[in-house]
């Protein structure tokens, strides 16, 4: 899930920023083994495929998630040829160059050692899509490619004293 904080941010996110913060929260590593495989198919050649595995041990755990989503987006639409007062040039067209393919891979490992919890996670995303353009300015070749990779290393200990006055 994605948490969005506007203005002040929670202390666990570190030093506050003036504009806020975005916190990406990945799935927790489950104590039991979990395997999920799913697939779907829909309108306009839309398809989705997901593989997920999570496994936990006494002090170690991991999860891996792979997701693919794509679509041809070749739907039909009414085109008035940008002349709303001239119905003679109106046609029904099929959307071109609006397809996309997106891949997400998430890997996360957790270890608890002497009361410390160490978490390493990697979230990778890539998407390639056509950019169809606006009516009257359609494009058959414009493309948009996006990719993102976020690696997080986190070390935490519950109840760890931060100040000398916190020590009991």
pLDDT digits over 97-143, tens only? 889 999 999 999 999 888 888 999 999 999 999 888 776 677 888 89
Longest dimension (CA), the chain: 85
Q: Is the pTM of this model over 0.75?
A: no
Residue-wise pLDDT for 26-64, tens only, equals 666 656 788 999 999 998 889 999 999 999 888 889 999
Residues 6+ apart with CB under 8 A from 91: 79, 81
Q: What are phi and psi of 13, to 5 degrees?
A: -90, 5
User: What is the C-alpha separation between 89 and 84, in angstroms, rounded?
Assistant: 9
């Amino acid at each position: 899930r994605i948490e969005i904080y506007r203005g002040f941010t929670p202390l666990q996110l570190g030093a506050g920023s003036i504009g806020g913060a975005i916190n990406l929260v990945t799935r927790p590593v489950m104590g039991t083994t979990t395997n999920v495989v799913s697939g779907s198919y829909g309108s306009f050649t839309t398809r989705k495929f997901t593989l997920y595995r999570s496994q936990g041990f006494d002090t170690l755990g991991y999860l891996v998630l792979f997701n693919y989503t794509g679509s041809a987006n070749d739907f039909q639409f009414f085109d008035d040829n940008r002349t709303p007062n001239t119905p003679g040039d109106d046609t029904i067209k099929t959307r071109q160059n609006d397809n996309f393919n997106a891949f997400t891979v998430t890997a996360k490992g957790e270890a608890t050692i002497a009361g410390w919890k160490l978490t390493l996670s990697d979230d990778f995303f890539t998407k390639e899509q056509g950019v169809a353009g606006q009516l009257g300015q359609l494009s058959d070749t414009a493309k948009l490619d996006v990719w993102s990779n976020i690696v997080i290393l986190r070390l935490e200990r519950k109840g760890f004293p931060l100040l000398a006055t916190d020590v009991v």
